[in-house]
Each structure stands twice: as structure tokens, then as C-alpha cells.
């Protein structure tokens, strides 16, 4: 029988999702904990191997790029012990996420039309107009339904007081939803007994919800909608997800060379000739989307697709230009953005953030860099940042020089101890830091928050970096229905 004594690292000040301060499992984890303890080492180790083989068979991979090396494709690490979120906790998260996405879409529409929020001084105009992800080329274009970011992934953490906070907004081409679905499928296949005493809300309907939302955007009506997923190709780190979603939705997976624009209409090249395309779920970044509008050297996009979008003949999901709203330099202003457009206080607060464009906040950061996480706004995936407590004086001096030379490109935050969760690693039950990426679909008149998300795990002991691009893993995320203690 597995014992609690095999746990490591429970003394940290970070909140433990699984255990209370007295080392007893939290109420909603008790049935699961007893089941795990009864299973024993040999059974758990066998299940770990089964999960790995299932991931391998399904091709659940992610490409990791090391500096100076070619990408390495590997099976996405998966931990067997699920994270559980109560119905009450989820209700708060869901309401906060809907509020945030609604406000950010209103913000984007304003930026590309009247820019009232800039004239009113709520967000500094130079912050937006000088941002590399602001796209003046699309000023005045009205996307279908006025929605810019139909698919979002918002990174959530729980701080040392147990409060959920938004760490980051992902509004361009958020990834990870395929791993959320695969995690659940594998858990139900190899550990069905885990579900016997819980009513867990489903996540496998995501592709159907997504397809419904995409079809709703068709300029020819949902009944005639031809949808494609546009991928950069097999060398993209999230290519597995592109193929997975296209397959699950029953739509074509296309590269830029498979599409052509004629008379401002997008067509898919097929063996039977050209087929009109109404909706493009694009997983290609703005810069590479249209060589006639953005980077002229791009071979990944479709020449003329922006003009087709401007003419109202095709829907692009997410809309071009959404990146300015998830710019890390804009992130500190999101609470004010919510208040400005909705007249409401944020349900989910931000992590406290210092703006390097503010002289006083920059000076404070430079004096306290050993206590800060300093992030370049132009990087993602956990790359290029300074983890103050783990840095050397030389590294801090180097970053200080970078911040002073280009304040717009940096923000700083205090180190937030991400909450921890039990993981089964190398035959031991240990604690690791986690975050959560819920996925939101904004389609038609409603905003759907899929009840779950991707719980990402920092597999390295003591690490706060959960990004899959840097070796992080994941676990299944259970959101409990009301009456959460009842059997399935």
C-alpha cells in the first residue's frame, strides 16, 4: 500500500491542492486517495507504462526546440493522478473567464475602430500603437459577429492564499486542447475505476463545440460552411494538435500551398478542382498569414486571404490582430479594460505586475530584481525570462541593462509560488507545481468555457516552469458536477 510518507516537499508555503495543512487529503480528494493507496506500486507502475504506450500509439507528441539544435519530437509527459476542481470553484473560474474574454473582445474592436479607450487615457496610446502585434492593416474591418478571439486559452494559477489569479492571456493561436482531450480518453481507458465515485464533467465535446462555432461564422450560412484548419506544417511544435482537431471535426487540414484566393474568395485545391472555403481556423501566426499584407517572404500563408476576409467572403479564426490584446505589456491594464467596457470589477485578478514603462515601477524592479520574475513581452513558452531568486548578480545586471534600454519590452512580477499537486514520478508520490489552462470558445451569442482544461505540471523538482516547450507535463483535470460526491 502506498503511504503518505513517500510524499516530498509538503513543507513549502505554496498551497497544496490535494492535501490540507494536517497532511490529510481534502474532502473531494478522499475517495481518490484511498483508491490510489490500495492500488500499490506494481499496479500504478503498470498503469504508467500503459498510459505511455497509449500516448505513443495515438501519436500524442510535442516538439521541443533546444537552442542551436533541431526540434526533438517526444511523447507528451502525462501524470496519472488527476487534479480535481469543485463545482463551486469552477463557477467562479467560469464567470471570471467569460467576463475577461468579453471585455478583451470589446477592447480589440475598439482598438481597430474608434480607439476610445486610447483617447480616454485608460490604456496609453503609445503602448498600443508601438506594439509589434498591433496591425494597422486591419483597421476598420468588422469580423463576423464583431468577435476577434473565438478560441482562447487563459493561464490560471492559485497563489499562496488559495486565490485563483490570471497569469497570462493566450488569444492568438492557443495550444494544448488536444492534450486535455487525450488525457481524459486515456484516463477513462486505463483507470476507469478512478471515476466510479465522482461525477466528472465531460471535455470530449470540445471539437463539436468548436465546429459549431466555426460553422456559425460562415458568410454563406452554417448549412453551407466549408471549414479548414490551416497549419504551418509538420515541423510546427503543435502539429499533432492541428491534425487531431481536423480529424475530430471531420474537416480538411490544409497548408498554405493548398489554398488559393481568386476574386477575393478562398478555395481549397482538390483532385476534383477548387472547393470554396468559408471558414479558416488558422494556426499560422499573423506575420506569416498573408505575404501580400504582412511578411512578404512567408511561404506558410495564403496570398490575398486578408483581402478576402476584408470583403466578408471568409472568416478567419482567430481574427488577425488579436495579439495586441495578449501582449504582456497590455496585461497589467486588463482590470481597467474590464471596468471600462463592462463597468465591473474583475472576478479574476491579475498577478501583481510592474510596468517597465512606468519610471517608478521600473526603478523599484531594478532595486529588487533578486525577488522578481522579469519577462520579455515578445517571448512565450517560458523563454527569455529572468527568475530572480535563481539568478546570479551578472545575470541580473545583464537584464537590468536590457530593461533600461527597452522598457516597453519587459514586465516584472513577484515570484508567485504556484500551487502543488501529487504526482506519481519514478515510482514515488511527490509534489510538483502546477497551473491550469482552461479553453474558451466565443461563438454566436454565447461564451463556452470547457469544464476542465489542461493542468500543466513542472516535472522538475522545485521548478515553477510548467511549459511543455521546456519539459513540462500534464494531468487530467476533473471539474465536478453539482452533487459531486455521488457515484457516476
Global pTM value: 0.94
Which domains are seen in the chain, by residue range? 88-180+202-342 (3.40.50.11290), 352-414 (3.30.1490.270)
Other C-beta atoms lying within 10 Å of the C-beta of residue 12: 14
pLDDT of residue 43: 93
Give the pLDDT means over successive 10-residue stretches in the chain (488 positions): 50 83 91 90 93 90 61 82 97 98 98 99 97 96 94 96 96 95 95 91 97 95 92 93 98 98 98 98 98 96 98 98 97 99 99 97 97 89 84 95 96 94 92 97 91 94 80 93 54
pLDDT of residue 67: 47
pLDDT of residue 443: 86
The DSSP bridge partners found for residue 418 are: none
Burial 163-193 (b: 16+ CB within 10 A, else e): ebbbbbbbbbbbbbbbbbbbbbebbeebbee
The three three-digit cell numbers of residue 101, written as one number? 474574454
pLDDT of residue 372: 95
CA pair distance 353, 329, nearest whole angstrom: 10
pLDDT of residue 11: 47
Cβ contact 420:433 at 8 Å: yes
pLDDT of residue 74: 79
pLDDT of residue 237: 86
Amino acid at each position: 500500500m502506498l503511504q503518505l510518507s513517500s510524499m516530498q516537499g509538503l513543507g513549502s508555503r505554496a498551497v497544496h491542492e490535494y492535501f490540507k495543512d494536517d497532511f490529510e487529503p481534502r474532502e473531494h480528494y478522499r475517495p481518490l486517495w484511498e483508491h490510489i493507496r490500495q492500488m500499490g506500486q506494481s499496479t500504478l507502475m503498470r498503469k504508467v507504462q500503459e498510459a505511455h504506450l497509449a500516448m505513443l500509439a495515438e501519436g500524442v507528441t510535442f516538439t521541443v526546440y533546444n537552442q542551436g539544435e533541431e526540434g526533438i519530437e517526444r511523447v507528451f509527459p502525462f501524470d496519472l493522478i488527476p487534479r480535481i476542481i469543485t463545482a463551486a470553484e469552477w463557477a467562479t473560474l467560469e464567470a471570471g473567464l467569460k467576463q475577461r474574454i468579453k471585455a478583451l473582445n470589446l477592447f480589440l474592436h475598439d482598438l481597430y475602430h474608434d480607439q476610445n479607450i486610447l483617447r480616454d487615457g485608460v490604456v496609453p496610446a503609445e503602448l498600443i500603437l508601438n506594439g509589434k502585434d498591433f496591425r494597422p492593416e486591419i483597421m476598420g474591418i468588422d469580423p463576423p459577429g464583431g468577435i476577434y478571439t473565438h478560441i482562447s486559452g487563459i493561464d490560471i494559477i492559485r497563489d499562496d492564499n488559495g486565490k485563483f489569479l490570471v497569469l497570462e492571456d493566450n488569444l492568438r493561436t492557443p495550444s494544448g486542447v488536444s492534450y486535455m482531450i487525450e488525457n481524459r480518453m486515456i484516463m477513462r481507458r486505463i483507470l476507469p475505476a478512478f471515476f466510479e465515485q465522482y461525477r466528472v464533467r465531460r471535455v470530449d465535446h470540445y471539437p463539436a463545440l468548436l465546429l459549431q462555432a466555426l460553422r456559425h461564422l460562415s458568410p454563406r450560412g452554417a448549412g453551407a460552411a466549408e471549414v479548414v484548419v490551416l497549419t504551418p506544417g509538420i515541423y510546427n511544435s503543435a502539429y499533432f494538435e492541428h491534425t487531431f482537431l481536423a480529424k475530430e471535426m471531420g474537416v480538411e487540414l490544409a497548408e498554405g500551398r493548398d489554398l488559393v484566393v481568386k476574386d477575393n474568395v478562398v478555395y481549397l485545391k482538390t483532385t476534383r478542382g477548387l472547393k470554396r472555403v468559408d471558414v479558416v481556423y488558422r494556426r499560422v501566426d499573423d506575420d506569416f498569414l498573408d505575404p501580400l499584407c504582412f511578411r512578404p517572404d512567408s511561404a506558410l500563408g495564403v496570398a490575398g486571404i486578408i483581402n478576402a476576409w476584408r470583403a466578408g467572403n471568409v472568416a478567419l479564426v482567430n481574427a488577425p490582430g488579436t495579439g495586441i490584446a495578449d501582449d504582456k505589456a497590455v496585461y497589467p491594464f486588463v482590470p481597467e479594460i474590464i471596468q471600462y467596457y463592462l463597468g465591473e470589477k474583475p472576478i479574476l485578478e491579475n498577478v501583481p505586475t510592474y510596468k517597465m514603462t512606468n519610471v517608478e515601477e521600473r526603478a523599484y524592479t531594478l532595486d529588487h530584481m533578486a525577488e522578481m520574475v522579469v519577462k520579455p513581452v515578445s517571448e512565450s513558452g517560458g523563454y527569455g525570462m529572468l527568475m530572480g531568486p535563481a539568478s546570479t548578480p551578472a545575470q541580473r545586471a545583464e537584464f537590468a541593462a536590457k530593461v533600461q534600454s527597452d522598457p516597453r519590452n519587459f514586465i516584472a512580477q513577484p515570484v508567485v509560488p504556484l500551487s502543488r499537486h501529487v504526482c506519481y514520478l519514478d515510482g514515488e508520490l511527490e509534489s510538483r507545481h502546477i497551473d491550469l489552462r482552461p479553453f474558451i470558445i466565443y461563438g454566436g451569442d454565447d461564451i463556452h468555457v470547457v469544464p476542465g482544461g489542461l493542468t500543466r505540471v513542472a516535472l522538475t523538482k522545485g521548478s515553477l516552469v510548467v511549459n511543455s516547450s521546456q519539459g513540462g507535463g500534464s494531468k487530467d483535470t476533473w471539474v465536478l458536477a453539482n452533487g459531486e460526491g455521488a457515484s457516476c
